[in-house]
Amino acid sequence: MIIKLTTDKTDTLKEYVDSDIVKRLDENRNFFMALDEKVYFITFHWLDEKKVTLYANRDHFICATDSDAVMECVDNIDIPDDGILQLHEFMLELTANDVYKLESLENMIISLEDNLLMDKSPSGDGIRDIIKVRKDLLKVKRYYEQMEFLTDEIAAIDPAFGFIDKKFDRLLEFVLHLQEYIEQVREAYQSQIDIEQNNIMKVFTVVTSIFLPLTLIAGWYGMNLQMPEFKWTWGYPFVIGISLAVIAALVIIFKKKKWF
């Protein structure tokens, strides 16, 4: 028999579980307890952070939660009588589309990588997008870590849950792979930002280097000293010509050195 409850109705579990154990629901975020042979009591938090409490024996399968997605998994159970088999079917339903969801997340990261690395003007928006993905992955990783821990304990008692345990192991490995991938994207994007900043500093350095000799020449003429050029008709054009020649020479040198 399948019984569905909301979290405010968990007192119903006292008909099947000792009241002291039910009280532990508020004290523990996630735990598994084998109350007897083929009698399991489980609590965990789904991806939406809503608590899920499960009780299963040979005759009953009880699910207490406020999560609509989890209740949908319960509705999909089509095994009529055995509560342990219903728990097994529930776990399968819970992970039925997880690989596809993680693949969609991977495709989103690939698209993000393409957009960021093709961006000719890196900005803080790209970093914010990466941080959002990292936070989402951290949330998913914590979920699979708790489920891996719980299914490890269940599989140690009941080998029939070994497949479920291995499935959560693989899902967790997938998430860890995605975390490494988004970290590589972040490093590549940060490198692109660093290169862009270096190019900007290179332009400033080149401009400063070109105008430094002109500043020196202007400084000489600002000393109010008697210079022959002042009395020469072509003095100022001569100085202007020297300045242009200095600029041209520096530009040619920088071009040959490939500094810009």
How far is it between the farthest Cα atoms of the chain?
114
**Percentage of residues of the chain with pLDDT beyond 90:** 38
- Pairing between strand 61-65 and 2-5? parallel
Query: Residues 152, 38: contact at Cβ < 8 Å?
Result: no
Q: What are phi and psi of 185, to 5 degrees?
A: -65, -45
pLDDT at 37: 82
177-193 residue pLDDT tens = 999 999 999 988 888 88
CB atoms within 10 A of CB 111: 10
Query: Residues 185, 112: contact at Cβ < 8 Å?
Result: yes
pLDDT at 197: 77
pLDDT at 170: 95
List the chain residues with pLDDT less than 70: 10, 19-28, 122, 124, 220-236, 257-260
Q: What are phi and psi of 65, to 5 degrees?
A: -165, 160
Task: Please state the pTM of the whole predicted model.
Answer: 0.75
Residue 5, beta-bridge partner list: 64
Residue 211 one-letter amino acid: F
223-242 residue pLDDT tens = 655 666 566 666 667 777 87
The 3-state secondary structure of 127-183 reads: HHHHHHHHHHHHHHHHHHHHHHHHHHHHHHHCHHHHHHHHHHHHHHHHHHHHHHHHH
pLDDT at 27: 67
Residue 32, beta-bridge partner list: 42
Considering only CA atoms, which of 136, 16, 8, 5 is closest in space to residue 70? 5
Domains in the chain, CATH or no CATH each: 2-94 (no CATH), 98-194 (1.20.58), 198-257 (1.20.58.340)
